[in-house]
Amino acid sequence: MINDFKPARRPAKSLRTSLDEQSEAQEDATETETFQTPEEVAAKQTLEASAESEQPVTTKTSEAGKKSALVPVSPSWRQKLALSWPPGKKEWISLAIMLVLIGVGSTGWLVTHHSTKAVSVATKIAAPAKIIPKAPTTVASTLSGLPVNPSVNKGPVTGVMIENSEFARPQSGLSQASVVFEAIAEGGITRFLALYQDTAPDNVGPIRSVRPYYEQWALGFDAALAHVGGSPEALADIKSWNVRDLDEFYNGSYYHRITTRQAPHNVYTAIATLNQLEAQKGYTSSTFTSFPRKSEAPSKQPTAATIHLTLSSSDYDVLYNYDASTNSYNRSEGGAPQIDANTNTQLSPKVVITMVIPYSLEADGYHSDYAVIGSGPVYVFQDGTVTTGRWTKSSNTSQIAFTNTSGKIIKLNPGQTWLTALAATTDVAYTP
Query: In this predicted model, what pLDDT tens digit does every residue of 245-289 receive, in sequence order?
Result: 999 999 999 999 999 999 999 999 999 999 999 999 999 999 999
Return the closest-CA partner of residue 186 out of 264, 271, 260.
264
pLDDT at 8 over 50: no
pLDDT at 68 over 60: no
Return the closest-CA partner of residue 139 out of 130, 126, 128, 152.
152
Q: How confident is the model at residue 30 (pLDDT cuts 50, 70, 90)?
A: very low
pLDDT of residue 47: 52
Return the closest-CA partner of residue 287 out of 419, 154, 114.
154
Q: How far apart are CA 148 and CA 367, in angstroms?
A: 38
- Give the model confidence (pLDDT) of 94-146 as tens digits: 666 766 666 656 555 554 555 444 444 445 555 667 788 777 799 999 999 99
User: If DSSP states are collapsed to H, E and C, what string results for 333-381?
Assistant: ECCEECEECCCCEECCCCEEEEEECCEEECCCCCEEEECCCEEEEEEEE
pLDDT at 429 over 70: yes
* Alpha-carbon 404 to chain mean position: 36
DSSP state of 406: T
Q: How far apart are CA 331 and CA 344, in angstroms?
A: 13
Partnered with residue 420 across adjacent β-strands are 182, 354
Residue 22 DSSP SS3: helix
pLDDT of residue 132: 81
Return the closest-CA partner of residue 349 out of 165, 173, 139, 177.
177
- Give the model confidence (pLDDT) of 312-370 as tens digits: 999 999 999 999 999 999 999 999 999 999 999 999 999 999 999 999 999 888 999 99
Q: Given the DSSP bridges, would you call strands 336-337 and 328-333 parallel, antiparallel or unpaired?
A: antiparallel
* Rg over CA atoms, the chain: 55
pLDDT of residue 104: 54
Domains and CATH numbers, the chain: 40-97 (no CATH), 147-281 (3.50.90.10), 306-431 (3.50.90.10)
